[in-house]
Amino acid sequence: MPEAPQPTLTEFLGRFQRCAILGAGVEGLSALKFIADNSAMSLTICNESEFDTNQDFRNAEPRTGQNAFKSLEEFDLIVRSPGIRTFRPELSIAREKGSYVTSVTDLALKFSPCPVIGVTGTKGKGTTSTLLSRMLARRYQNVFLGGNIGLPATDFILNATAQDVIVLEISSFQLQDVRSSPECAVVVRTTQDHLDYHADAREYVEAKCGISKFQSHNDTIVYCADSERSEFIAGKSGASNRYSYSTTNANYSSAWKSDGKMYIRMFGKTPEFECLANVSEMSLIGEHNVENVLAATIAAIKFGIPLDNIRDEIRTFKGLPYRLEYIGSKNDRKFINDSFSTTPETAIAAINSFEKGKVIILLGGSDKGSDYSQLAGTIVEKEARAVLYGATRCDIASSISELTGKGTECLKSAGILLADTFEEAFLKAFDLSKPEDYLLLSPACASFDLFRNYKDRGDTFRKLFESL
């Protein structure tokens, strides 16, 4: 039996009469506008906290307070924002009663008129997505970049044509209940994150599998061969076009690093592989960014971008704000803003980006249930000095103490200090530093104990730098 044809957006939305939008943030408001502009159904926007009702809510009924999500089974279509857990009891009941639960990401993947490249993983997906979009812009007139970075996908998918391409950075929150996967899925290194949201590491990784498990035979999967979790996610894909990359092993990889150079396998062409660039030619900082470059390169080649164009972007792309961002030098000390680092793994990658004994790192923040033992090992191995602040400072100090056998007081002699405030931590780090050192903000933790978000934390770091 041939497959039933995919319904159009109008046909799909025409099945429903009542729609609830869960969440009044950026994605929720984008979904509201998208549904209102393409259907005549009645709309309700549900948000537990109060929100500004002076905005254009397209005649949607607002529901706020502790009962905002009560009786969701009244709605036959529910659009969930990423911050609303997919396994909330109210949503589970609604599904059992026949409600169709979707999301902005699910709608974008289902109804995009052009190819979608989805990028997920733990860290590096924003850098990879942005670099890839720049590479693609060398050939495509319109490249739309959004998702977990920039605009929600429903802000632009209906502006795209079949000749365009969309790049979506997609988080675990956005993938957890999708019913479609992108034509090209890129899975960067995946560790664990957001254990304050997901029940455990297994649920986190299984949520990521939404990017691959609905792929068909003709689709493409690109993944990090140096990450077991990335390989696991890629293993869920039915795509026949499978490409891996590695910084440790060239065997069977489509792109790899060896002896300070990056290589790409040219399938079906002569020569079999080519040198992409020297690692030293990259404008991006850090070994982990070699992986991001390799991932973006494979996808760009798959979409017909010439190697010379790819090389130009590798040499000129300096990265995103708050991701190992060089913000300046004072008194022969260089300052690096990596406020986006919210896990021990990303802080480890940041420390490993610099010469042994040359780093003073600011660590700490709100707790995400992380294990700091490997981070402690990297600090000791790389002879990094550290100033610990925020709600997790004692947990990180304990991990270092357990590894070294030194009490907190004895850690001072090794350049491991505690601070009561972020400003105090910054000044202590500066006092610890010597000429040619790097002062690195790479907190390994979320920011919500002291800041609104990671951007607020990074901006504060920059202001303290400027005030020196």
Residue 197 has pLDDT above 70, yes or no: no
Q: Is the dihedral of CA 155, 453, 88, 237 positive or negative?
A: positive
Interatomic CA distance for residues 94 and 101, integer angstroms: 8
Residue 193 has pLDDT above 80, yes or no: no
User: Two tokens at 343?
Assistant: 């896990």
User: Two tokens at 129?
Assistant: 């997505």
| Contact by Cβ (8 Å): 102, 78 | yes
Residue 52 has pLDDT above 80, yes or no: no
Query: What is residue 59's predicted lDDT score, i.e. its pLDDT?
Result: 82
Side-chain half-sphere of 303: how many Cα atoms within 13 Å?
Answer: 31
**Residues across the chain:** 468
The 3-state secondary structure of 108-154, one letter per residue: HHHHCCCCEEEEECCCCHHHHHHHHHHHHCCCCCCEEEEECCCECHH
Task: Give the containing element (helix H, strand E) for 10.
Answer: helix 9-13
Residue 245 has pLDDT above 80, yes or no: yes
Residue with tokens 């909330």: 88
Query: What is residue 15's predicted lDDT score, i.e. its pLDDT?
Result: 95
Task: Give the containing element (helix H, strand E) for 389.
Answer: strand 385-389
Residues forming CATH 3.40.1190.10 domain(s) in the chain: 106-316
| Contact by Cβ (8 Å): 442, 347 | yes
DSSP-assigned states of every residue in 191-204:
----TTTSSSHHHH
Interatomic CA distance for residues 272 and 82, integer angstroms: 43
Query: What is residue 1's predicted lDDT score, i.e. its pLDDT?
Result: 45
Residue 56 has pLDDT above 70, yes or no: no
Fold for domain 17-98?
Answer: Rossmann fold (3.40.50)
Query: How does pLDDT run across 374-384, given as a tens digit for each residue?
Result: 999 999 999 99
Query: What is residue 173's predicted lDDT score, i.e. its pLDDT?
Result: 86
Highest mean pLDDT among 27-31, 49-53, 204-208: 27-31
Considering the chain, what percentage of its residues have pLDDT values greater than 90?
78
Query: Within 209-343, where are the H helices?
Result: 228-235, 287-302, 307-316
Query: How does pLDDT run across 407-448, given as a tens digit for each residue?
Result: 767 788 889 999 999 999 999 999 999 999 999 999 999 999
Query: How does pLDDT run across 142-164, given as a tens digit for each residue?
Result: 999 999 998 999 999 999 999 99
Sheet hosting strand 100-103, strand order edge to edge: 61-64, 42-47, 18-22, 77-80, 100-103
Task: Give the containing element (helix H, strand E) for 274.
Answer: strand 273-278
Residue 201 has pLDDT above 80, yes or no: no
Q: Which amino acid is at 135?
A: M
**Could you give the angle at which helices 454-467 and 422-432 cross, rounded to 10 degrees?**
50
Residue 178 has pLDDT above 90, yes or no: yes
Cα 331 to Cα 121, 407, 464: the distances in Å are: 37, 32, 14
Q: What is the pTM of this model?
A: 0.83
Please state whether the peptide bond connecting residue 271 to the residue before it is cis, i.e. omega within 30 degrees of 0.
yes
User: Two tokens at 374?
Assistant: 């490997």
Q: What are phi and psi of 281, to 5 degrees?
A: -80, -15
Query: How does pLDDT run across 306-361, given as a tens digit for each residue?
Result: 999 999 999 999 988 998 999 999 999 999 999 999 989 889 989 988 989 999 99
User: Two tokens at 24?
Assistant: 């009044």
**Coil, helix or strand at residue 184:** strand
What band does 55 get if pLDDT is binned at 50, 70 and 90?
Answer: low
**Could you give the angle at which helices 344-351 and 373-381 cross, rounded to 10 degrees?**
10
Query: What is residue 385's predicted lDDT score, i.e. its pLDDT?
Result: 96
Q: What is the CA radius of gyration of the chain?
A: 23
Residue 51 has pLDDT above 80, yes or no: no
| Contact by Cβ (8 Å): 377, 223 | no
The CATH number for 325-467, chosen from 3.90.190.20, 3.30.70.1400, 3.30.470.10, 3.40.50.1700, is 3.90.190.20
Higher pLDDT, 73 or 199: 73
Interatomic CA distance for residues 228 and 189, integer angstroms: 9
CB atoms within 10 A of CB 52: 7
Residues forming CATH 3.90.190.20 domain(s) in the chain: 325-467
User: Two tokens at 82?
Assistant: 């990423």
Measured in whole angstroms, the distance separating CA 17 from the mean position of its chain's CA atoms is 35
Q: Write b or e for each residue in 367-400: b if 16 or more Cβ atoms lie within 10 A of its Cβ, otherwise e.
A: bbebebebbbebbeebebbbbbbbebbeebbebb
* Farthest CA pair distance, the chain: 73
Residues forming CATH 3.40.50.720 domain(s) in the chain: 17-98
* Average pLDDT for 27-49: 93
Residue 358 carries which DSSP code?
A: -
Interatomic CA distance for residues 338 and 360, integer angstroms: 13
* Average pLDDT for 103-114: 96
What band does 251 get if pLDDT is binned at 50, 70 and 90?
Answer: confident
| Contact by Cβ (8 Å): 276, 296 | no
Residue 248 has pLDDT above 60, yes or no: yes
CATH architecture of 106-316: 3-Layer(aba) Sandwich (3.40)
Considering the chain, what percentage of its residues have pLDDT values greater than 70?
96
